[in-house]
């Protein structure tokens, strides 16, 4: 049969002419998560190439980056003809704007008082003479009569905004260069439909490899938690980024101040959107709100061509070393392969399970060359299935409070035990800054093993409880039904029976159908293997082992 040549993650191979994506994906054994999108890329012809819209202006006070609104507008055309020769000093500077020039142009001057917004970029004619044209950057919203061409504002300052405030008389433009994104001359698409047929010359990208920064051990650990199912989900997009908002609201320390070049992975550490993770799809300046945690070293086409609602497979380098939830024996086998010394304390019987590790982050473990873990009997481990479709907000509160959003095991100290009732209180006092509105409150009866959280209609909000028998009067925390939010159920209640007040239990989530629907965004029924995959997360061997 006829063969066609395709490139799969950088490796060229010949496949049958009727081959589909599903035929090509497994050929080299590259990482691919079921249901994730892959990217098919084709080279654009010159006629299809988009005009450059972004320019980097190097000044004596730092970089300014502008983006043209319409490359075909009058001002943009003037800019395109002249930008390489605009190495001019600051002509005027005040609280409203900074201008560079002058230089000679030819256009019809508009004599009108117009409104300009902060970070607008325009051309203005000094004395309404286009031979005295200046390049103007607006520092705040104001009205002025600059003598612009008919289109007025032709660009926006998109990066280097703090540098704009530094510019004074005596500063100069040193150079102006057009910026082309790495994929600007490509055309492609992302799809999760693996029945799409491939054509000769197609490039297929099945996964993105993220190399995590040694300067950001805590941020890297957040990224491991974010991608524990092997995918990066895209919740929002803009010209300069694709963000995964799964862990929005989770705290993360600022660790690494670095420019956000195309392919940079960063996490917002403060303000609105704290905990969001970004992949940069355009060059941007460093930010005091965005800590750089890694870089895409393969498969940048996936975030570049992906849209909101999609997800793609990721592989992290180095692989995640998260020992919580695993046995001492499993962990020692892994650590021997990466030459890390293994120290342990606590229970070492045949049914042990690790509940703590120090250092807590993969990068610190590798840098130190050793890790110390604590293990307990498996009887201390409580398995919980959450009702995501019934109490999503309270579950988010609980998982945040015991750090189950970023770790596979969460700790929960017992507060009170009586008869068949067990009440707990998380060490993190999340109720002081998070609401617990009534949600999925019981009606007639609380079933045995239901897990409840006291909501904010009662004084002891944030307490967690479970009963081992049905109850028709009070919830699992001893509160009335309307003060109780039912968030899930305990699957192994027998492990509670030996518990004493002050003891600590350890929570492990078991992924039920609602978790697969609402967290993973997959169809249930034939995808039980994905639940197994998540139950065995975070004990990865290096590639090739």
Q: Are residues 101 and 130 in contact, defined by beta-carbon separation less than 8 angstroms?
A: no
Quick check: is 172 in a domain? yes
Sheet holding 370-377, edge to edge: 341-346, 370-377, 352-358
The pLDDT of residue 537? 40
* pTM: predicted TM-score of the whole model, two decimal places: 0.72
pLDDT of residue 521: 47
On whether residue 440 sits in a domain, the answer given is: yes
Shared domain for 450 and 509, answered yes or no, is: yes
Q: What is the DSSP string of 17-61?
A: TT-BHHHHGGGG-----TT-BEEEEEEPPGGGPPPP-EEEEEETT
210/154 same-domain check: no
Both structure tokens of 140: 């705040």
Question: Are residues 174 and 230 located together in one domain of the fold?
Answer: no
Residues 113, 63: one domain?
A: yes
What CATH number has the domain bearing residue 213? 2.40.100.10
Assigned domain for 405 exists: yes
- Each of the 545 residues of the chain gets a pLDDT tens digit; together they read 688 888 899 888 889 988 999 999 998 888 899 999 999 998 655 555 566 788 989 999 988 889 899 989 999 999 999 998 888 999 999 999 999 999 999 999 999 899 999 999 999 999 999 999 999 999 999 999 999 999 999 999 987 888 899 999 999 999 998 875 555 456 889 999 999 999 988 999 999 999 999 999 999 999 999 999 999 999 999 989 999 999 999 999 999 999 998 999 999 999 889 999 999 999 888 899 999 999 999 999 999 999 999 999 999 999 999 999 999 999 999 999 999 999 999 999 999 999 999 999 999 999 999 999 999 999 999 999 999 999 999 999 999 999 999 999 999 999 999 989 999 999 999 999 999 999 999 999 999 999 999 999 999 999 999 999 999 999 999 999 999 999 999 999 999 999 999 999 999 999 876 665 555 443 333 333 333 333 334 444 433 33
Residue 542 CB coordination number (10 Å): 11
What is the per-residue pLDDT across 369-428, written as a single tens digit (0 to 9) for each? 999 999 999 999 999 999 999 999 999 999 999 999 999 999 999 999 998 999 999 999
Q: How many angstroms separate the CA atoms of 542 and 545, rounded?
A: 6
Q: What is the per-residue DSSP string for 396-461? A: HHHHHHTTTTTSS-EEEEEEEEETTEEEE--SS-GGGTS-----S--SS-BPTTEEEEE-TTSTTT
User: Would you give the distance in Å from CA 395 to the centre of its chain?
Assistant: 21
Give the pLDDT confidence score for residue 45 in this predicted structure.
55
Do 386 and 524 belong to one domain? yes
Q: Are residues 232 and 175 in the same domain?
A: no
- What pLDDT is stored for residue 13 in this prediction? 87
Residues 312, 424, single domain; the answer is no
So what's the pLDDT on residue 518? 57
Same domain, 515 and 385: yes
Residue 227 lies in a domain: yes
73 found inside a domain: yes
Q: Domain range spanning residue 416?
A: 380-532
Total of domains in the chain: 3
Give the integer Cα–Cα distance in Å for 373 and 353: 10
In SS3 terms, 119-175 reads as CEEEEEEHHHCHHHEEEEEECCCEEECCCECCCCEEEEEEECHHHHHHCCCCCEEEE
- 492 occurs within a structural domain: yes
Say whether both 62 and 115 belong to one domain. Answer: yes
Domain-embedded: residue 350: no
Determine, yes or no, domain membership for 196. Answer: no
User: Domain ends where: 283, 317, 351?
Assistant: 317
Domain closes at, from 281, 298, 317? 317
């Amino acid at each position: 049969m006829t063969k066609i040549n395709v490139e799969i993650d950088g490796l060229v191979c010949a496949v049958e002419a009727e081959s589909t994506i599903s035929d090509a994906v497994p050929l080299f054994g590259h990482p691919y998560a079921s249901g994730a999108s892959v990217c098919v890329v084709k080279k654009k012809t010159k006629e299809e190439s988009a005009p450059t819209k972004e320019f980097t202006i190097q000044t004596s006070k730092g970089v300014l980056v502008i983006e043209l609104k319409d490359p075909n507008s009058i001002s943009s055309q003037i800019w395109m003809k002249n930008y390489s020769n605009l190495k001019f000093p600051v002509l005027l500077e005040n609280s409203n704007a900074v201008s560079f020039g002058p230089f000679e142009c030819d256009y019809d001057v508009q004599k009108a008082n117009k409104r300009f917004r902060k970070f607008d970029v325009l051309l203005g004619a000094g004395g309404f003479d286009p031979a005295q044209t200046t390049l103007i950057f607006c520092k705040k919203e104001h009205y002025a009569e600059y003598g612009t061409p008919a289109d007025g504002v032709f660009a926006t300052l998109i990066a280097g905004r703090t540098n704009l405030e530094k510019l004074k008389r005596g500063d100069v433009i040193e150079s102006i260069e057009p910026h082309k994104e790495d994929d600007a001359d490509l055309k492609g698409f992302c799809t999760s439909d693996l029945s799409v047929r491939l054509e000769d010359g197609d490039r297929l990208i099945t996964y993105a490899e993220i190399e995590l920064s040694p300067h950001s051990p805590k941020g890297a650990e957040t990224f491991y938690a974010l991608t524990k199912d092997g995918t990066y989900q895209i919740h929002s997009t803009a010209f300069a980024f694709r963000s995964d908002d799964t862990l929005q609201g989770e705290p993360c320390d600022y660790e690494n101040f670095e420019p956000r070049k195309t392919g940079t992975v960063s996490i917002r550490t403060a303000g609105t959107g704290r905990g969001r993770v970004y992949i940069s799809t355009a060059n941007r300046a460093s930010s005091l709100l965005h800590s750089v945690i890694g870089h895409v070293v393969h498969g940048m086409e996936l975030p570049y061509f992906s849209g909101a609602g999609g997800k793609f497979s990721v592989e992290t380098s180095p692989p995640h070393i998260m020992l919580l939830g695993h046995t001492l024996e499993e962990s020692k086998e892994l650590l021997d392969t990466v030459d890390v010394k293994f120290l342990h304390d606590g229970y070492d019987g045949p049914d042990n399970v690790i509940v703590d590790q120090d250092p807590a982050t993969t990068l610190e473990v590798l840098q130190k060359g050793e890790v110390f873990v604590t293990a307990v009997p498996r009887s201390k481990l409580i398995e919980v299935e959450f009702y995501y479709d019934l109490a999503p907000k309270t579950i988010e509160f609980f998982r945040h409070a015991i750090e189950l959003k970023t770790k596979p095991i969460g700790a929960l100290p017992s507060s009170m035990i009586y008869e068949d009732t067990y009440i707990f209180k998380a060490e993190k006092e999340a109720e002081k800054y998070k609401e617990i509105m009534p949600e999925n409150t019981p009606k007639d009866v609380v079933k045995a093993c239901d897990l409840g959280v006291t909501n904010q209609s009662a004084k002891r909000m944030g307490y967690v409880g479970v009963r081992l028998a049905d109850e028709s009067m009070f919830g699992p925390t001893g509160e009335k039904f309307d003060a109780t939010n039912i968030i899930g159920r305990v699957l192994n209640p027998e492990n509670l029976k030996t518990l004493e007040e002050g003891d600590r239990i350890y929570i492990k989530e078991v992924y039920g159908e609602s978790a697969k629907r609402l967290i993973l965004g997959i169809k249930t029924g034939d995808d039980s293997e994905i639940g197994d995959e998540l139950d065995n997360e975070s004990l990865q061997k290096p590639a090739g082992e």
